[in-house]
Structure 1
Amino acid sequence: MSKTIRMLNHNDYPHFDKMDTGIEFDYIANIFEHLVTGNNRLYGLFIDGQMVSMSGYSIYADRYAMLGRLRSDRRFAGRGNATELVDYVLNEAFKINNIYWAGANTQEDNLPAQRVLEKIDLIPYTKLHGALTSNVSALESGARSWRPVTDIKRKREWVDELYIQTGSVFPYECFYPLPASAELFRENDLKQWSFFENESQTRFLITKYDQKKYHFLHAVYPWHDMTSQPGLWETINLEYRKLKDHTDDETYIWMDLTKEEAKSLPAGHQFVLPSPWILYGMDRSTWERSTALAK
């Protein structure tokens, strides 16, 4: 038996297409070309020339590598191929000198993926619902919407206080929360993201545009009192309506909510709360120590 692991390219799509993954409509089929170019990489584990497992990573803010797209052929299950491949991908990501952190996001009910991540020593950071809605009227109080913040210095003060100094997880994109660092908040991002403050300047909100399969207003509110802040939901709804007026497809509000925050939503709320995602990860210093011990 010959086993090899290598990086994939656009010519490798037939190998992916022949895998028996049990996924009836896999989004990867539509974006395979994208996942092997730019900041994205895919790797395949081959046995006697047949690809039996696939995984890869994407780079965010030049410093973070998010592992994912793990697919395994069911005919070769139970042989440790997925764990071997993901461990290889993790090491390949950290071979990029400026990668400071690498991790992966998997849903709470995906126990096989969690076992793989734990076997390669990634640790859980947080658990978040990717909450979706197109109607926040049940949360509005009739208060005035919050004041826009346009000053970059003020935006930096907020993210420094709430994220950089604390190292809290920041919802960088839909599906991709990342542990905060100064490098995560680049000048261009701060200019593009919309910031809002309440009247007393004790709370702030970030809204930003994202597109995966659908269009999203990604709303980030870093406190647990979102149901008792006058004007918060009016602000989110106003920004959502502005975005919806400029899109020609399904458009939603996305918020990353802890289980406690999800439970605090009032009766009649319109959020869809799928199985929460668990963020696993490892920083470079931990990886360097583990690889040194393995030698």
Structure 2
Amino acid sequence: MEKTIRVLGLEDLPYMEAMQTGIEDDYVTRIFERLVTTDQDRLFGLFLDDHLASVCGYSIFAKHYAILGRIRSDIRYRGKDLATALTSQVMDEAFKLPDIQWVGANTQEENLPARRVLEKLGLSPQAVIYGAIAKDVSPLENGSLAWNELSDLKRKKQWVYDLYVKNGAVFPYECYYLLPASPELFAEDELETWSFFENEDATRVVIVKRDIKTAHYLHAIYPWEDLMDQPGLWETIASAHRKLCREVGEDALIWMDFTKDQALSLPENHQFDLPSPWMLYGTGRTKAEKGA
């Protein structure tokens, strides 16, 4: 069989629809048009003769980061390492873009085969995070005063530098997408739209921003382990959530990215859904080029 790999376009939708992936109502098929027509996304296909056997793509964030994903294989062609070969080429294609400095991927911690593929490609684990979702956090409130919102852009920049940029910590840039911090990740126009709430003695901050996936989300970011020991933290998040619900005219969800220790610190009456944790893998341009 002749094997070819190429970028997919709108005309390839019938090939995608003909794949037997074993996934019912696959969202990749539903959003295929967006994936092949936007500047942020690219979708590649591996063909055996005239059959689409595997797909993989990347999405670009903050101009300098590429996240691999949408990996699918036709069950009739599995066991041939096609997905590994395709993902390797897609990673190479991402690094051909002059602005891309880091390429990564997410997979569930329990998905050992996927983790082995990513490690084989030279990606190293960088974080293990629960993508936790709640409809309501009011049971965690204790009547404390909410924190003070910052309006000073310079102060916002100092917080993200101290917490993330200085040590290259992983930052939850969007729901589902964590990225290793760099100055490029925190553009001033974005920081202006994010809300920062500081506690009374200015030793803690919670960052709140809005996101839309299949629903409206209040994305709350708190990087310390003392979730239950900071008076006013949950009042601040709950207040911002109520405000978002009023503005969008529907029940928005709350998304927080928890470490394992943060998840363990939650009391029994918490409202968060804690699915299997996700692992972030990645590599920078210099390391990737040395391995090439």
Q: TM-score when scaled to structure 2? A: 0.98
What residue in structure 2 maps to residue 30 of structure 1?
A: 30
How many Å separate the matches in 2 of 1:24 and 1:48? Answer: 25
Pairs aligned (count): 291
Q: Could you list the per-position Cα deviations for residues 211-253 of structure 1 after superposition, in whole angstroms to 9, with x for gaps in the alignment?
A: 1111100000111111110000000000001111122455210
Alignment match, 2:14:
14
**Alpha carbons of structure 1 residues 250 and 79: separation in structure 2 relative to 1, 3 Å:** farther
Using the TM superposition, give the Cα deviation of residue 116 of structure 1 relative to its aligned residue in structure 2, in angstroms: 1.7
Q: Kindly report the root-mean-square deviation, in angstroms, between the aligned alpha carbons of the 2 structures.
A: 1.0
Q: Deviations over 1:53-102 (max 9, x none)?
A: 00000100000000000011011111000000000000000001111100
Helix, strand or coil at the partner of 2:243: helix
Match of 2:176 in 1: 175
- Structure 1 residue 138: Cα displacement: 2.3
Q: Percent identity?
A: 54
- The answer to whether the aligner puts 1:69 opposite 2:88 as a matched pair is no
* 2:240 aligned partner: 239
Q: Does the 8 Å CA contact 1:214/1:250 hold for their aligned counterparts?
A: no
| 3-state SS in 1 of match to 2:241 | helix
Q: TM-score, normalised by structure 1?
A: 0.97
| Structure 1 match to 2:189 | 188
In the aligned structure 1, how far is the partner of 2:138 from the partner of 2:111? 33
Q: CA deviation at 1:26?
A: 1.2
Asked if 2 retains the 8 angstrom alpha-carbon contact of 1:214 and 1:249, the reply is no
In the alignment, structure 1 residue 282 sits paired with structure 2 residue 277: no
Matches of 1:123 and 1:31 in 2, distance apart?
29
1:146 is displaced (CA, Å) by 0.4
CA–CA distance in 2 between the matches of 1:245 and 1:116? 44
Give matches, 1:122-137, under 5 Å: 122-137=123-138
Q: Does the residue aligned with 1:82 lie in a helix, a strand or coil?
A: helix
1:222 corresponds to: 223
What does the per-residue CA deviation read over 1:170-206, in whole Å, with 9 as the maximum and x for residues that have no partner?
Answer: 0000000000000000011100100010000000010
1:267-278 aligned within 5 A: 267-278=268-279
CA offsets per residue over residues 4-26 of structure 1, 9 Å max, x none?
Answer: 00000111111111111111021
Name stretches of at least 5 consecutive residues in structure 1 with no aligned partner: none
Residue-by-residue CA offset, 1:113-140 (whole Å, 9 max, x unaligned) = 2222112111110010000101112211
* Runs of 4+ residues deviating >3 angstroms: none
